[in-house]
């Protein structure tokens, strides 16, 4: 698959040209305050490189799920401020996506200026299933770049979506993969085609159904598959254990039985859990064997014996992919499992292992728990996109960049 890169665009020259960049700036907010700026920090190098080279940069991004209508609580205003701090330059925020304010601001850009369009999902056409509606919005986005424009896809977290600012606009302008997207594809290709063994995968999160496809795709290819988080209780139930009031997908029990039968030598489940009498930060807790979760109590983290067993395997791995926390790490009482597993991955990395954190909650956990980001080989910015790539699915936002017929117009 041949995709033009940001470096090729910079070599061609961007001074005086307007470049539309699709970034993933979907950061968590709490009372209007950004609680994890990881995606902004990761997106800044591509935007900065273009601005430094004299491009007039227009950035399209989304925040949350506003359902196709403006919502002041999901404005990109705090993102514009934080991006400006990261770039050490002023970032304008348009009052709309492709309306009069965006058009006037785009027309007034000079070399090195950066304009952030308002939340692109304020436009219902962005996520429309109707090709014509999406394409109409894409034409308006492309028009903002005027003559000689270009498109840079740098939002890896959205490339699995067939959306106007991700897929359709790439067919209207000369397109390039930004630094983030190019790096992500290289890393995930290494995980799927060149992984050094032993190869270990750590999966957490709440639901088996969310990870079923990636389990099916990776279990035949890896040496170890560690399962924690809320999803582990459906697997424990499939082994015939009582799981109290822990999160349980009863409809997935038979599927888990089948997986355990087929991959008994690969799948590793917790042997103990930290149980709580309620889902709260100040709940009563007790560490119990996985075989002895009390009735009415719920498992909210893997226990210390599980961490020891998981770590013994992970420390010797040469390739590690981690997606999903081991417990409710946001509550200090249930963070030890995630911390312990993460620290064992850091240790393996220090000994030469290639380790990838699959974005989403795993990346948030690294930052919240104060773990060294440089202790991992790569921290992805796209949880869902990473999983779909590893499942072998075609990602529309990537395939369109490799389409030779794209950007001819």
Q: The tokens 């940001």 sit on which residue? A: 6
Backbone angles phi, psi at 82, to 5 degrees: -70, -35
Grouping H, G, I as helix, E, B as strand and the rest as coil, residue 402 is: coil
Backbone angles phi, psi at 273, to 5 degrees: -140, 155
Was 260 annotated as part of a binding site?
Answer: no
Q: How far apart are CA 11 and CA 150, in angstroms?
A: 13
Average pLDDT, the chain: 94
Was 403 annotated as part of a binding site?
Answer: no
pLDDT at residue 360 is higher than 80:
no
Backbone angles phi, psi at 235, to 5 degrees: -70, -40
Q: How far apart are CA 407 and CA 377, in angstroms?
A: 34
DSSP assigned state of 300: E
Was 29 annotated as part of a binding site?
Answer: no
279-313 pLDDT per residue, tens: 999 999 999 999 999 999 999 999 999 999 999 99
CB 175 within 8 A of CB 401: yes
Percent of the chain at pLDDT exceeding 90: 85
CA-angle at 219, arms to 228 and 345, nearest 5°? 50
Was 362 annotated as part of a binding site?
Answer: yes
CB 283 within 8 A of CB 195: no
Was 121 annotated as part of a binding site?
Answer: yes
CB 157 within 8 A of CB 382: yes
CB 276 within 8 A of CB 246: no
Q: How confident is the model at residue 245 (pLDDT cuts 50, 70, 90)?
A: very high
Residue 301's beta-bridge partner residues?
A: 274
DSSP assigned state of 248: -
Query: What's the pTM?
Result: 0.86
316-347 pLDDT per residue, tens: 999 999 999 999 999 999 999 999 999 999 99
Contacts of 39 (CB under 8 A, 6+ apart): 24, 25, 26, 27, 157, 381
List 178, 205, 360, 397, catalytic entry? 360
Was 330 annotated as part of a binding site?
Answer: yes
Q: What is the pLDDT of residue 409?
A: 43
327 is catalytic: no
Strand duo 114-116 + 91-93: pairing: parallel
* Domain 195-390 bears CATH identifier 3.30.1330.30: no
CB 141 within 8 A of CB 107: no
CATH, range 6-181: 3.40.50.1260
Was 108 annotated as part of a binding site?
Answer: no
The dihedral built from the CA positions of residue 331, 333, 338 and 339, taken in this order, carries a sign that is positive
Distance of alpha carbon 110 from the chain centroid? 33
Was 25 annotated as part of a binding site?
Answer: yes
207 is catalytic: yes
67 is catalytic: no
Helices (H), 53-90: 77-87
Structure tokens at 137: 């919005």
List 139, 207, 318, 367, catalytic entry? 207
Q: What is the mean pLDDT of residues 179-188?
A: 92
55-78 pLDDT per residue, tens: 999 999 999 999 899 999 999 999
Was 299 annotated as part of a binding site?
Answer: yes
Was 146 annotated as part of a binding site?
Answer: no
Grouping H, G, I as helix, E, B as strand and the rest as coil, residue 196 is: coil
Give domain limits for the chain. 6-181, 195-390
Task: Supply the DSSP string of 135-185, one letter for each residue.
Answer: HHHHHHHHHTT-TT-EEEE--GGGTTS--IIIIIGGGTS-EEE-HHHHHHH
Was 26 annotated as part of a binding site?
Answer: yes
pLDDT at residue 2 is higher than 80:
no
Q: The tokens 């799920």 sit on which residue? A: 65
Q: The tokens 């106007």 sit on which residue? A: 164
More confident residue, 251 or 36: 251
134 is catalytic: no
List 17, 22, 39, 82, catalytic entry? 39
């Amino acid at each position: 698959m041949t995709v033009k890169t940001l470096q090729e665009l910079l070599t061609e020259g961007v001074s005086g040209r307007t470049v539309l960049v699709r970034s993933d700036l979907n950061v968590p907010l709490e009372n209007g305050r950004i609680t994890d700026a990881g995606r902004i920090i990761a997106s800044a190098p591509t935007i900065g490189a273009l601005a430094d080279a004299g491009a007039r940069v227009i950035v399209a991004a989304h925040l949350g799920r506003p359902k196709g209508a403006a919502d002041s609580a999901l404005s990109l205003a705090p993102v514009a401020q934080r991006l400006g701090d990261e770039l050490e330059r002023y970032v304008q925020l348009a009052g709309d996506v492709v309306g009069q304010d965006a058009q006037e601001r785009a027309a007034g850009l000079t070399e090195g200026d950066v304009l952030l369009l308002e939340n692109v999902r304020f436009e219902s056409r962005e996520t429309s299933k109707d090709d014509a509606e999406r394409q109409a919005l894409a034409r308006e986005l492309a028009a903002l770049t005027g003559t000689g424009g270009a498109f840079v896809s740098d939002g890896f977290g959205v490339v699995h979506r067939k959306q106007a600012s991700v897929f359709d606009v790439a067919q209207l302008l000369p397109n390039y993969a930004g630094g983030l997207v190019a790096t992500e594809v290289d890393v995930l290709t290494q995980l799927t085609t060149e992984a050094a063994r032993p190869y270990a995968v750590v999966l957490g999160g709440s639901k088996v159904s969310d990870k079923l496809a990636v389990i099916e795709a990776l279990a035949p290819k890896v040496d170890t598959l560690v399962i924690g988080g809320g999803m582990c209780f459906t697997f424990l139930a499939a082994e015939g254990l009582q799981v109290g009031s822990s999160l349980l997908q009863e409809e997935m029990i038979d599927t888990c039985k089948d997986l355990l039968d087929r991959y008994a030598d690969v799948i590793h489940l917790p042997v103990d859990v930290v149980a709580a009498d309620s889902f709260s930060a100040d709940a009563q807790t007790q560490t119990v064997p996985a075989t002895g979760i009390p009735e009415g109590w719920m498992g909210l983290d893997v226990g210390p014996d599980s961490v020891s067993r998981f770590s013994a395997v992970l420390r010797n791995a040469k390739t590690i992919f981690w997606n999903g926390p081991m417990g409710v790490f946001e509550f200090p009482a249930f963070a030890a499992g995630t911390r312990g597993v993460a620290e064992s991955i850091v240790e393996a990395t220090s000994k030469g292992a290639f380790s990838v954190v699959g974005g989403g909650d795993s990346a948030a956990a690294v930052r919240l728990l104060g773990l060294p980001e440089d202790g991992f080989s790569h921290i992805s910015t796209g949880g869902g996109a990473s999983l779909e790539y590893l499942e072998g699915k075609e990602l529309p936002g990537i395939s369109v960049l490799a389409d030779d017929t794209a950007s001819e117009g």
